[in-house]
């Protein structure tokens, strides 16, 4: 029996044509493998987009006879393939709670994966050599550009935080802890593991592909 997948796509003002091409070339194959619904939300505030999408998924799951199994988050500045989506979701089939792909950005002048470790209340990016070719690695946080999770993660966080599963906070030095980091720390505090499949490398339109 096919599992049920919700694809959540938060949108800003513009959608890059590269993403649209990747999505249109992949969604058919994804739908062949899962009972698939696609949700979008558009506003200038990414944290609200994500919260509204999560609320819609949970509302459907609570009211429908067809229960949601997995949620796949894709940002509109990510270029991916159907095979990469399938590999990400296969990690959930194996029993993992949350599985992220990897994408790279130039951060403080260096090419780094958007995968983070937490020290106290602060987050820092891993170096590329800590990620490349490592298989599955455990992370404290990662970006939400290309990430899949079991519906149980959203359900548990809804119990703890109501409709604001995503949020942000400012530190004393006025630096920002973003909504993806807040979600990840809440998920870890609830007992879920965040795994990164380092073999799933997608392109961040504003970023880079990793150097050899």
Which tens digit of pLDDT belongs to each residue from 94-130? 999 999 999 998 877 788 899 999 988 888 899 999 9
Give every strand in the sheet of 70-74, ordered side by side: 35-42, 4-11, 70-74, 146-150, 98-102, 194-201, 136-138
pLDDT band at 173 (very low <50, low <70, confident <90, very high): low
Beta bridge partners of 40: 9
Q: What CATH fold (topology level) applies to the domain 4-204? A: Spore Coat Polysaccharide Biosynthesis Protein SpsA; Chain A (3.90.550)
pTM here is 0.94
At residue 89, φ and ψ (nearest 5 deg) are: -70, -25
Across 147-167, average pLDDT: 96
pLDDT value of residue 211: 57
Query: Looking at residues 151-168, what average pLDDT do you find?
Result: 95
Confidence class of residue 79 from pLDDT cuts 50, 70 and 90?
very high
Question: What mean pLDDT comes out for the span 4-29?
Answer: 92
Alpha helices in the chain (DSSP H): 17-33, 46-63, 82-93, 151-161, 179-189
| pLDDT higher than 70, residue 172 | no
pLDDT at 123: 87
pLDDT of residue 205: 82
């Amino acid at each position: 029996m096919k599992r049920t997948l919700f694809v959540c796509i938060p949108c800003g003002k513009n959608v890059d044509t590269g993403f649209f091409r990747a999505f249109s070339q992949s969604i058919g194959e994804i739908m062949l493998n899962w009972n698939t619904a696609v949700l979008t939300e558009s506003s200038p505030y990414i944290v609200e987009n994500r919260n509204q999408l999560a609320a819609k998924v949970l509302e459907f799951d609570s009211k429908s006879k067809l229960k949601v199994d997995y949620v796949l988050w894709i940002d509109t500045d990510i270029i991916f393939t159907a095979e990469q989506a399938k590999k990400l979701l296969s990690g959930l089939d194996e029993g993992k709670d949350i599985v992220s792909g990897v994408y790279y950005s130039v951060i403080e002048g260096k090419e780094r994966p958007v995968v983070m470790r937490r020290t106290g209340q602060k987050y820092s990016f891993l170096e590329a050599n800590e990620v490349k070719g490592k298989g599955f690695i455990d992370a404290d946080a990662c970006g939400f550009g290309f990430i899949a999770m079991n519906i149980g993660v959203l359900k548990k966080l809804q119990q703890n935080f109501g409709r604001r599963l995503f949020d942000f906070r400012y530190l004393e030095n006025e630096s920002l802890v973003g909504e993806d980091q807040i979600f990840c720390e809440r998920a870890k505090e609830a007992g879920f593991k965040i795994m990164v499949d380092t073999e799933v490398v997608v392109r961040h339109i504003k970023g880079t592909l990793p150097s050899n």
